[in-house]
């Protein structure tokens, strides 16, 4: 027997719809730490957004934000709730992606996280080919730190990550792509530019332009110098690989970068580092138990084909 829809059913469905909207609004404000900027992104008025957040706080029985000057910041309760909100929306978005698989056309959204040190020389051609072959896919690529890529894959905010081998594989499906060496990159006028290789211990007198310590590449370099019993002297710190390359190309201090990132420069000279030779393994990271999504599989396939052609 089919039961007629009751008034309470309509109310429950309306409340569910409101709750999903509340989560999106909440995460936007949390990301911007500012109501007006979040409202601009969401294409709603600031009073509407403020009221929706108040409704959510009343529903949860806790204040999620506190005022700081002209902006806001998450309260302790807001910090705790943010992870749950992210996971809830990620599950819904994955469900939508799975439903898209029933369509003959490849469509939907795909979010890829890439560590910055490989993004500039590995990803552009892959993205161009993928976008041309699958115009119905809304592809979003984010340059992140290795830690941010891992967290994004685990929470579901990223469909796939391209990063270095994680310290633990318990929560990831890890597929190795290739191992690459880090090399000394110099301007042609530098006295060491004619060298083919050099021991790390012979670099104690050099000052470098390097990524800051938020990058695992920097930490790998520090470990290399410790193992080589050399002193690491920093002249310039930057948070952009492109910025570092431009600085060295302009005659600035030498740097240490992945080999593929250096050989793409028509100016820089690269010298192999020895004893030790720093290297790292680039991997595809996916969360264990993830649903099979054609868009993600096609992107990974495109990436592998590019590496074969390279």
Residues 149 and 189 in one domain: no
Instruction: Report pLDDT for 185.
Output: 96
Residues 162 and 291 in one domain: yes
CATH number at residue 248: 3.40.190.290
Ranges of the chain with pLDDT below 70: 1-19, 94, 96-107, 167, 169, 291, 309-310
Instruction: Report pLDDT for 277.
Output: 95
Residues 174 and 256 in one domain: no
Instruction: Report pLDDT for 10.
Output: 37
Domains held by the chain: number: 3
Q: Does 140 reside within a domain?
A: yes
Residues 167 and 196 in one domain: no
Q: Please, which contacts does 275-279 make with residues 24 or more away whose CB atoms are closer than 8 Å? A: 275/199, 275/200, 275/201, 275/228, 276/200, 276/224, 276/227, 276/228, 277/181, 278/181, 278/182, 278/220, 278/221, 278/223, 278/224, 279/179, 279/180, 279/181, 279/182
Q: Does 2 reside within a domain?
A: no
Instruction: Report pLDDT for 207.
Output: 96
In which domain, by residue range, is 34 found? 7-88
Q: Does 25 reside within a domain?
A: yes
CATH number at residue 16: 1.10.10.10
Residues 153 and 70 in one domain: no
Instruction: Report pLDDT for 6.
Output: 40
Residues 245 and 260 in one domain: yes
Three-state helix/strand/coil letters over the chain: CCCCCCHHHHHHHHHHHHHHHHHHHHHHHHHHCCHHHHHHHHCCCHHHHHHHHHHHHHHHCCCCEEEECCEEEECHHHHHHHHHHHHHHHHHHHHHHHHHCCCCCCCEEEEEEEEHHHHHHHHHHHHHHHHHHCCCEEEEEEEECHHHHHHHHHHCCCCEEEEECCCCCCCEEEEEEEEEEEEEEECCCCCCCCCCEEEHHHHCCCEEEEECCCCHHHHHHHHHHHHCCCCCEEEEEECCHHHHHHHHHCCCCCEEEEHHHHHCCCCCEEEEEECCCCEEEEEEEEECCCCCCHHHHHHHHHHHHHHHHC
Instruction: Report pLDDT for 96.
Output: 67
């Amino acid at each position: 027997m089919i039961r007629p829809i009751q008034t309470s059913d309509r109310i429950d469905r309306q409340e569910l719809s409101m709750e999903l909207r509340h989560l999106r609004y909440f995460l936007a404000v949390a990301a911007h730490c500012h109501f007006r900027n979040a409202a601009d992104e969401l294409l709603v008025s600031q009073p509407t957004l403020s009221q929706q957040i108040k409704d959510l706080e009343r529903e949860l029985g806790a204040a999620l934000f506190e005022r700081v000057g002209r902006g806001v910041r998450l309260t302790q309760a807001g910090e705790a709730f943010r992870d749950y909100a992210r996971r809830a929306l990620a599950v819904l978005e994955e469900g939508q992606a799975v439903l898209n698989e029933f369509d003959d056309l490849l469509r939907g959204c795909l979010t890829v996280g890439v560590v910055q040190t490989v993004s500039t020389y590995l990803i552009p051609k892959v993205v161009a080919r993928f976008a041309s072959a699958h115009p119905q896919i809304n592809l979003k690529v984010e340059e992140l730190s290795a830690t941010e890529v891992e967290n994004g894959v685990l929470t579901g905010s990223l469909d796939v990550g391209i990063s270095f081998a994680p310290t633990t594989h318990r929560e990831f499906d890890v597929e190795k792509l290739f191992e690459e060496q880090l090399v000394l990159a110099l301007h042609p006028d530098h006295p060491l530019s004619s060298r083919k290789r050099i021991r790390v211990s012979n670099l104690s007198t050099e000052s470098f332009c390097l990524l800051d310590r938020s990058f695992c590449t920097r930490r790998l370099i520090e470990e290399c110098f410790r193992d080589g019993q050399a002193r690491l002297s920093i002249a310039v710190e930057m948070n952009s690989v492109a910025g570092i390359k431009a600085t060295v190309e302009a005659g600035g201090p030498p740097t240490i970068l992945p080999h593929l990132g250096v050989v793409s420069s028509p100016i820089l000279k690269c010298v192999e580092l020895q004893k030790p030779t720093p290297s790292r393994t680039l991997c595809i990271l996916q969360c264990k138990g993830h649903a099979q999504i054609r868009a993600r599989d096609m992107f990974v396939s495109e990436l592998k084909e590019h590496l074969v052609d390279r």
